Chain A
Amino acid sequence: MRDLMWPVASLVGTTILYYLCKGHYKRTRQFWCTPLLAAPVIVVALVVVLHIPLPAYFEYTHWLVALLGPATIAFALPIYRQRHMIARYPLTIIAGVVTGLILGLVSNWGYARLFHIPGDIALSLLPRSVSTPFAIQVSAKLGGMPDVTALMVVLTGVIGMLVCEPVYRVTRVKSAHARGAGLGSASHGAGTAKAHELGAQEGVIASLTMIFTGISMVLVAPLLSRLFM
């Protein structure tokens, strides 16, 4: 009986905390309450403070992680709904995806070398600008640590939301399509949510750029793994 206490409490607690954070953020819109940041921070703090053994924490919560697979498939819905946008501006979307993909890989690798980051952590950094379900797949394929990648993806999302407005002001990016593509390719789901706040056009382009960048990164991962290993 005692053996089941932490696993059940972990699953129920993580889920309830997430929905509490989400509800609170919806009401207050305070940045630090975003479930992207607040929920993981509170859960990690509880695990540490309560001395919950990690294997017990993961015993049932790994079912939550398993839902990332179906969540990947769910991206078919926005592709279907925005098919006319894709047909109208294919080059715009391809340009965003290709630039984001190459810049993401090259800049992460370059900066990791510059800051003397050890190899396995650097590999975990490479796919961080794409959405988590894609990033975790790519990280495993490249020989990185998928858990570390998940953390980097979360932090990238938070940073993208924070820096986008000053960055776009300084660089004078005006068109909705460019703002959306930048957010979608640099900071995946969080960037897409932010893009929806900037405008409807921004949001649509951001979500399409995010999805196709994720898919392309998974597709080129086998090639990359040969390059880096």
Chain B
Amino acid sequence: MKFINLLYTVAQVALISALLWICNLVVAHLGLPVPGSVLGLGILALLLISGAIPEKWIAIGAAWLMADMLLFFIPPVVAVLKYRTLLAPCGLGLIAILIIGTATVMIGTAWVVDRVFVLEHRRYQEKENA
């Protein structure tokens, strides 16, 4: 059973990679301002929503790609060893920015959404009751 799952994962990741390859060609050919991966995301979402392809064709592969995405960016983090002399002098400043900046975005977004959601939820319920 596990082996079958592995086969499905490999095949579906290959299918998604093929879509990426085609999208990269299209982007290069037409000189589009979006990366092939984002074009591919849009196309796959449309294919799924329109029912052109069933979810099970890609679900296992897509789930693996998302669940283990952390593995894919370990090498870029290692690459930072190349920049240590560049980053070291502003290390403390960077840490401060990361903490304050993350809190700023989190608080700001949550504050706005708190208000918008109340309005939209009320509107939705009115529509339901009407």
List residues of A whose CB falls within 8 A of some B CB.
14-15, 18, 22, 35-36, 39-40, 43-44, 47-48, 54, 57-58, 61-62, 64-65, 67-81, 83, 88-89, 91-92, 95-96, 99-100, 103-104, 107-108, 111-112, 115-118, 121, 125, 128-129, 131-134, 136-137, 145-148, 150-156, 159-160, 163-164, 167-168, 171, 173-175, 177-179, 181-183, 185-187, 189, 191, 209, 215, 218-219, 222
Q: In the bound complex, do residue A116 and residue B93 qualify as a contact, i.e. CB atoms below 8 Å apart?
A: yes
The 9 closest A-B pairs by CB, nearest first: A182-B110, A150-B76, A115-B93, A76-B44, A74-B62, A72-B37, A186-B106, A147-B79, A178-B114
A36 to B95, CA, bound (A): 17
Interface of B is mostly: helix
* Size bin of chain B's contact surface: 35 or more
* CB pair A173 B79 closer than 8 Å: no
Q: What is the chain B residue whose CB lies nearest that of A83?
A: B49
Contact of B28 with A by CB under 8 A: no
Question: Which A residues are in CB contact (< 8 Å) with B62?
Answer: 73-74, 76-77
Q: Is B105 at the interface (CB under 8 A from chain A)?
A: yes
Indicate if the CB atoms of A185 and B109 lie closer than 8 Å.
yes
Q: Which of B16, B72, B103 contacts A65 (CB 8 A)?
A: B72
Within 8 A of A (CB), among B39-92: 40-42, 44-45, 48-49, 55, 58-59, 61-63, 65-66, 68-83, 86-87, 90
Give the interface centre of B38, B45, B82, B102 by most chain A CB atoms within 10 Å.
B102
Q: Is the CB of B38 within 8 A of A72?
A: yes
Cβ-defined contact, A167 with B83, below 8 A: no
